[in-house]
Structure 1
């Protein structure tokens, strides 16, 4: 098959949280496309099972890197290890995260620090650790940050989780403009309900963040919540859609079609909230300069602060 039909063949990708769930689905889709992989993991049994899958397919064994994404020193070591092993790094997928819920008004500092530290801090650590190597590499390159539909849809039990995903959304949409002049693509992926064990996150809370305002985890209640995930999309389908979105250079990759009514409601509410009045000409000019700067940045032109005034 020609490289035109397999544009990512031979490209090196590093994926966090990549031996279960959506991370594994992305790794499988990337492997099908001929990519070479470095995968982060926490659990040895999950790593072994993933290695067996690659062997059964006859694919090159990934470079497995044990990593807690909140550990900045270890993240830097892994970035160096991946570059030394493959020579170049072309794709970064920040996927690792925790799905933990509870009433935000009762949350403690530990609740905020743990969830934000993994879901947002882990993305930051991936970007800081891997972007230098990606910038030094050549050819087709891309950064994908996996958020969630929670980046658009808040909920009463998901305040901190939602805040972390909103943060990933804002960071990614801005980073896209910074990376375009370097010839590096950047996508925000927001999956919805997917067939994973993400609901077990609350059972894996680190001792360092043990003081929770959410109360003791009710395993029976949590398992009942987990049954909803059985109706979710196959993680490999999510991975295939991520790969397709990268190929199409899409800034936003939405994987689930069922959220049209939600986006319409957001649009209608946003438009209704705008004051019904004329804006002064000077303010209109500044906003048009901002829009023009965004268009130029996305086209690969390096923009500076004085381009906004």
Structure 2
């Protein structure tokens, strides 16, 4: 898909977890860019504070929707009720950490259910309407730098973000023919209270394999977030990426060393050997298919052999 400049003023954006943290940073940037907002929330206090900020800035009021992103029935109901949506921002997530080798099924089900399942539910609920109205639009799936960088305490969280990355990169090809752009947005350290997620564990996922939360240790971990980027800056960079129709939006610049290592490690892992022409031919077809899809053409399995 080409990087054509697009104007979203007057369009409607639906943002999950849009009343605090990165979600509200994106919401503020889109509102200041002239967009109408539909924001989902879990806590009334967050909703009220978001409404107050918009009013104080003289911006139009948002529509607020109470939603648990793991609730598929409620998601479908909301999609049917809110009317036309042009921009879908799948943002809601949980930041929960612990040694992966000690994780229980409940740990996997909760973290993957929110961070990956919530994205899936947003797509399944809203994409039919976005394609049907024929006015184009954009999908932003918020992941994390954990979509590229793994760590010993973030195995399930990292898996969820890697999954969002792969889904988003593939979806971009699928939606190009419909005039709908798709971006993977991977923020780094941001000034939010994401570190409190472990304190909000639902009762249904209480059988954790991780050690009980140590409040003091968690609060110390939370001090790192004080050094983070302002969520509004993350939001402004997200909007700029949408306007430029970027497939990948990276908001933080401090990861060049990591990407260089990933690149070099990947190249070094490739065997240095002669490759049969048949395999080379198939990979050329794959690359050509991806290029054609990015330019808005439909690509089927028959195009790949």
The verdict on a shared fold, with TM-score over 0.5 as the criterion, is yes
Partner of 1:66: 66
Partner of 1:149: 145
Q: Confirm whether residue 44 of structure 1 aligns to residue 40 of structure 2.
A: no
Distance between the aligned counterparts of 1:295 and 1:147, measured in 2? 24
Partner of 1:117: 113
CA contact (8 A) 1:8 1:140 kept: no
Partner of 1:26: 26
Q: Confirm whether residue 35 of structure 1 aligns to residue 35 of structure 2.
A: yes
Deviation at 1:139, TM superposition (A): 2.9
Distance between the aligned counterparts of 1:245 and 1:206, measured in 2? 34
Q: Confirm whether residue 294 of structure 1 aligns to residue 297 of structure 2.
A: no
Partner of 1:234: 230
Partner of 1:127: 123
3-state secondary structure, aligned to 2:233? helix
Distance between the aligned counterparts of 2:56 and 2:225, measured in 1? 27
Distance between the aligned counterparts of 1:207 and 1:90, measured in 2? 35
What CA deviation, in whole Å up to 9, does each residue of 1:41-81 have, x standing for no partner?
00000100000111111111111000000000000111112
Q: Confirm whether residue 269 of structure 1 aligns to residue 262 of structure 2.
A: no
Q: Confirm whether residue 81 of structure 1 aligns to residue 77 of structure 2.
A: no
Runs of 4+ deviating beyond 4 Å: none
Distance between the aligned counterparts of 2:52 and 2:285, measured in 1? 54
Distance between the aligned counterparts of 1:24 and 1:115, measured in 2? 21
3-state secondary structure, aligned to 1:34? coil
Partner of 1:11: 11
Match of 2:246 among 250, 264, 268: 250
Deviation at 1:6, TM superposition (A): 8.3
Deviation at 1:140, TM superposition (A): 4.1
Distance between the aligned counterparts of 1:25 and 1:82, measured in 2? 22
What is the RMSD computed on CA atoms of the aligned residues?
Answer: 1.2
Q: Which runs of 5+ in 1 are unaligned?
A: none
3-state secondary structure, aligned to 1:189? strand
